[in-house]
Chains A and B, each alone.
Chain A
Amino acid sequence: ETGVTQTPRHLVMGMTNKKSLKCEQHLGHNAMYWYKQSAKKPLELMFVYNFKEQTENNSVPSRFSPECPNSSHLFLHLHTLQPEDSALYLCASSQDPVSRDAGRFKEKLFFGSGTQLSVL
C-alpha cells in the first residue's frame, strides 16, 4: 500500500462511452500526476497538478480531460477514446516538486496501482 489509491483497477469501454478514472492520495502531498504506460511508449507523463493548478500538459489529446478539485484527489475524464488509447494509466503524487531542497527528495513519486483501460 503506497498511500495512492486508484479506481477502477480495470475498465473496458466503447469508443462512444464517457468514463472517469479516480485517484486519491493519503500522503499529504501537494502534486499529482497522470502517466500513460503502453507497449509502444513505456512511461509517458500526461498531466501534472501542483497545489490544484495544472502545471504541465504534454500535448495530450482533448479526449482526455483532467480535473483536480483539491490536492488529494485527481480525476481523468475520458470521452470518445480510440483503441490506441488502451493502456495502463498510472496516478502518482509527490510532496512538493517546486522546492529545490535536494536533501528531502520532495520530487520522489509514489504511484497508485493503475487502471488497465481497454477501448473497444
Chain B
Amino acid sequence: ELKVEQNPLFLSMQEGKNYTIYCNYSTTSDRLYWYRQDPGKSLESLFVLLSNGAVKQEGRLMASLDTKARLSTLHITAAVHDLSATYFCAVPWFQGAQKLVFGQGTRLTINP
C-alpha cells in the first residue's frame, strides 16, 4: 500500500525567511500533486509535477520532484503572511482505479 509522509507537520516561521517542506512516498510514481488549504476552506490545487526532475514555480513557492528518491519538496522563499495555510502533497495510486493518496499535511504559520 502506498504511504505518503510529509515533514514537518507543523512549521512556524518569520516573514522573509526561506524554508522547505518535504514529501516522501513509498512506491513508484511518475507524478505528484501539491494542494493548499486555508483554515476552514477547501483544498486548492497548486502544482502538478509530471516527471523526474520537474520543477514548478509560482510566486514564492517552488515545487520539485525526484522520482528516484521518491521525494518532492515545496520550497518557500522570503515567506509572507499570505502563505500561511496547510499544504498537502498527494500521489496517484492505481488499485482497480486511480486515486490520490494524501500526506498528513503541513500546517504553515508565518509570523510578521
Contact A108 B45 (CB under 8 A): yes
Among B11-19, B54-62, B68-76, B92-100, the one that faces the other chain is B92-100
**Given the known A-B contacts A42-B104, A108-B45, are A102 and B31 also in contact in the complex, defined by CB atoms under 8 Å?**
yes
Contact of A116 among B40, B90, B99, B102 (CB under 8 A): B40
Contact of B99 among A42, A102, A107, A112 (CB under 8 A): A107
Contact A114 B41 (CB under 8 A): yes
Q: Whole-angstrom distance between the alpha carbons of A88 and B41 in the complex?
A: 9
In the assembled complex, 24 residue pairs joining A and B whose CB atoms fall closer than 8 Å, in A order, are A31-B97, A42-B86, A42-B102, A42-B104, A48-B97, A55-B97, A56-B97, A92-B43, A97-B98, A98-B98, A100-B98, A102-B30, A102-B31, A103-B50, A105-B31, A105-B50, A108-B33, A109-B33, A109-B43, A109-B45, A110-B45, A111-B44, A113-B41, A114-B42
* Chain B count of residues within 8 A CB distance of the other chain: 24
Contact of B48 among A98, A100, A108 (CB under 8 A): A108
Please, which residues of chain A bring their CB within 8 A of the CB of B102? 42-43
Contact B41 A43 (CB under 8 A): no
A45 adjacent to chain B (CB < 8 Å): yes
Q: Whole-angstrom distance between the alpha carbons of A50 and B95 in the complex?
A: 13
Contact B42 A113 (CB under 8 A): yes
Contact of B97 among A50, A102, A113 (CB under 8 A): A50
Contact A100 B31 (CB under 8 A): no
Please, which residues of chain A bring their CB within 8 A of the CB of B104? 42
* Nearest neighbor of A101 in chain B, beta-carbon distance: B98
Contact B97 A98 (CB under 8 A): yes
A2 adjacent to chain B (CB < 8 Å): yes
